[in-house]
A and B are shown apart, each in its own frame.
Chain A
Amino acid sequence: MKRELVIIGGGPAGLAAAVEAHNNGINDILILERDKNLGGILQQCIHNGFGLHIFGEQLTGPEYSERFIKKVNELNIEYMLDTMVLNIDSSRKITALTPKTGVFEIEAGAVVLAMGCRERTRGALNIPGSRPSGILTAGAAQRFVNMEGYMVGKKVVILGSGDIGLIMARRMTLEGAEVKMVLEIMPYSTGLKRNIAQCLVDYDIPLYFNHTVVNIHGKNRLEGVTVAEVDEYRKPIAGTEKYVECDTLLLSVGLIPENELSKGAGIEISGITSGPVVDESMQTSVEGIFACGNVVHVHDLVDFVTQESYLAGKGAAKFIKGELSKSKKVISTLGENGIRYVVPQKINPDNVDDSVNFFMRVDNVYKNVFIEVLSEGKTVLKVKRPVVSPGEMENIKIKREILENINFNKLIFSLKEA
């Protein structure tokens, strides 16, 4: 079959991209979703705190996604559930699988990748010890508890202060488990402050920085973990080991953009974000394939995912209508001096409506700094930040006029002491 726009993933990113593409005049849209419902990971994120930027109110995950599902339905945007994309090639031919029809192919005028991300697991951390049950990612636990109504354990240790881990500390506590501690190998949290206050402090759950799990005990079900303090190189300090009895270890140690399909299509992947390199319209290195949300880089707030996905939806619509300029002028962005990455990585000012919102992450906690935007050694923009932290994504808006006046092809984002 042939479709104008195919969106891979029916989570918050895919839904917003679909709505925005429709708003920009594209009617022939198909969303492919592997789950049995739209909404993606938000379905299991039943806590509140979503939507402050987009809707000006605090919604739970299912409420947030429902707003977009409603729009998708109102606009009669077509979607297929229970459908897994197996492959995309660089000519935008999609191979997918669904129980009703088996393997099928679609030739797409444009594609938006919105597959989201996956959690890092014990294997990726290479935590030594035995291999009992009771060790699972915070997200898997969240699914069991919130969607399926099952508890995954009674005495819990959480490794990693990522947001899902913090949220699950509170959820497990509310459902009657004893959460003994949260361990963070870094000297700072990778989760949002709000979550530390309302998920840990509220329930007297201790958070230990510079700590990690160094051994796992128990043959069949987890019986305990050995925790230890780490030095500045994140190596365990001998003599600080402590045994903690628990039947559950939840891992919240990072998310990885899910880009196996993107790689198959030959899309350039950033070594830092692990997501596609994208331009101002969220177009990847392969023409007509766009990407948005956690598949590009991991966000802490869904609101920013939505914003980014609007851009992708609009970009894809423009591409289909032949309105996307392919002018030669491309500005590359780069993070330096404490800024790990900047998204988008490439800007064609001709395609910018009003301004570009640049997203970036820092590599450590810094207080009292400027985020400085430089081109050819000259300061383009300077924004003061009382504090920046790896756990909270930064964003800076730069107006089209400024971008148009940049003659150099590089835009450097850098931290500077205030």
Chain B
Amino acid sequence: MYDVIIIGSGVIGAAVARELSKYDLKVAVLEKSSDAANGGSTKANSGIVHAGYDAKEGSLKAKLNVLGNKMYDELCSQMDVKFKRNGSLVIAFDDEEVKEVKKLYERGIKNGVEGLEIWDRERILKEEPNINKTVISALYAPTAGIVSPFEFAIALSEVANSNGVEFKFNTCVKNIYKENDIFVIETNNGIYNSKFIVNAAGIHSDEINDMLHGEKFKILPRRGEYCLYDKVCGDLVNMTIFQTPTEKGKGILVSPTIHGNMFVGPNAVDIDEREDVSTTQDGLDEVLQGAKKSVSSISSRNIITSFTGIRSRTDKDDFIINVPERGAVNAAGIESPGLSSSPAIAVMVLQLLKKEGLSLVKNNNFNPYRKNTKLFLEMNEEEREAALKTNPSYGRIICRCESITEGDIINAIKRPIGAKTIDGVKKRVRAGMGRCQGGFCMPRVLDILSRELGIPKEAVEKSDVGSFILTGKTK
């Protein structure tokens, strides 16, 4: 019997799990995929911690974005996750857009965003010389930042796990009902009982809401495609460059990533199939064309990969954070600024659970820090020496592009919520994330996974069940 079961281990599920792990509770996270941060939204989004001027004043989105943004510094420093307040610009090229920028400025002030400024052309080009010279005006937000969304979510999961939260992967919720005030959760992996439930099922959160008999809403999945560039393009822009928003969202942005790459995207295409993370030629063309409006020198040269994320948009305007049924809390419809809001959403979910009767007794052993998170080449000399002594494989580079050693990969496998797949390694330590996209290191990572997990090479998978790489021995 669990006190709380969280459905979904995206960034929201992870943030809630970490928040709950501060208390003496028996908590489990059920995740249908093979890994944390593996769904269409957390695995593939812009990785922007927004300042908070976009959402309508008074909305949950506005409130939680500004609150969440402020929580990032401490959280990331505790968890040793790279986070940088690189600032953002919303740039305007004509009078209409200038009006929009002013509107955002005013809205930002109302939302409580600090440090907003309107910049003129000269100032913009001084700070960002590669922006198209026809720019007129921009909204500057110093509090906007960049983070790796899946590194952040995995770190939250690790902290939760180290503080006692269980994670059940490849566990898909099929049905939920109540028996004597206890939730019975049927999954493909057996039945779970829990006193409370948190619905953080992302693009499937409407299905879980239905099982909880909540007020109906519908997920209207919207695809966003991105192109990621080689690090040689990493300093094309310093800040995250937005265009003025349209009905379909914040538009196509150009931004550095926290690891020194550059990316452009996303577009916004409504789709029927919510699991469809494929990219399309039209979409990639649209993204490139769109990005050129901000920075004309952008081309398809130096693209190292492209990917698609799915936004958990709903037929409601705002995040859906409510109580669908006694003892259950929805954290649903979390589209942008969901990543930015996630720490604040977790706090709000906790308050709702408390209202529903969850008793919160402090876990005195709660430890917000993660251990041994440094990559070998980021260590100082002393740390390196110590690391090599415990494991000489720290001295062997496996991923050339990102300079990731065998020891780093073994660490990623052995950590709490460790990597079990090729993509799992990639998400945690970026082996295969660089310019050669695993062309060189994938066979070696496969070897290491097979050895460390004690499974045959044929059983090593790229990501979810069935994504095996090898089909058998030749001889």
Contact = CB atoms under 8 A, between A and B. Distances in A.
A binds B: yes
Interface of A: 34, 82, 84, 86, 97-103, 118-119, 121-124, 126, 128-134, 136-137, 139-140, 143-145, 148-154, 175, 214-216, 219-221, 236, 247, 260
Contact of B303 (A119, A126, A130): A126
Contacts of A219: 275, 464, 466
A341 to B, nearest CB: 18
B65 to A, nearest CB: 30
Interface stretch (B70-78, B170-178, B280-288): B280-288
B470 A144 contact: yes
B306 interface: yes
* Interface residues of A, dominant DSSP: mixed
A152 B471 contact: yes
B384 A148 contact: no
A220 B464 contact: yes
B458 interface: yes
B332 to A, nearest CB: 24
Contacts of B227: 126
Given A123-B306, A220-B465, A140 B443 contact: yes
Nearest to A82: B396
Contacts of A130: 276-278
A98 B458 CA distance: 29
Contacts of B443: 140, 143-144, 148
Given A100-B392, A103-B384, A151-B473, A121 B463 contact: no
A97 B395 CA distance: 6
A149 B475 contact: yes
Contacts of B447: 148
A213 to B, nearest CB: 11
Given A123-B303, A175-B474, A128 B436 contact: no
18 contacts: A84-B396, A97-B396, A119-B436, A121-B439, A123-B305, A124-B303, A130-B276, A133-B461, A137-B439, A140-B442, A150-B458, A150-B471, A150-B473, A151-B474, A153-B471, A214-B281, A220-B467, A260-B400
Given A97-B396, A123-B305, 8 more contacts: A97-B397, A97-B405, A102-B388, A124-B304, A126-B303, A131-B278, A133-B468, A136-B442
B280 A128 contact: yes
A99 B306 contact: no
A193 B393 CA distance: 43
| Pairs of residues from A and B, 7 with the lowest C-beta to C-beta distance, nearest first | A123-B305, A99-B395, A220-B466, A133-B462, A84-B397, A220-B467, A99-B392
A130 B466 CA distance: 14
A275 to B, nearest CB: 15
Interface of B: 227-228, 275-281, 283-284, 300, 303-307, 377, 384-385, 388, 392-397, 400-401, 403, 405, 422, 436-440, 442-443, 447, 457-458, 461-475
Contacts of B464: 219-220
Nearest to A171: B474
A260 B440 CA distance: 15
A128 B280 CA distance: 5
A102 B395 contact: yes
Nearest to A131: B277
Nearest to A236: B281
A35 B197 CA distance: 51
Contacts of A99: 388, 392-396
A126 B443 CA distance: 22
B40 to A, nearest CB: 11
A143 B464 CA distance: 24
B16 to A, nearest CB: 27
Given A99-B392, A148-B443, A220-B465, A128 B281 contact: yes
A140 B280 CA distance: 26
A157 B443 CA distance: 20
A151 B472 contact: yes
A143 B280 CA distance: 31
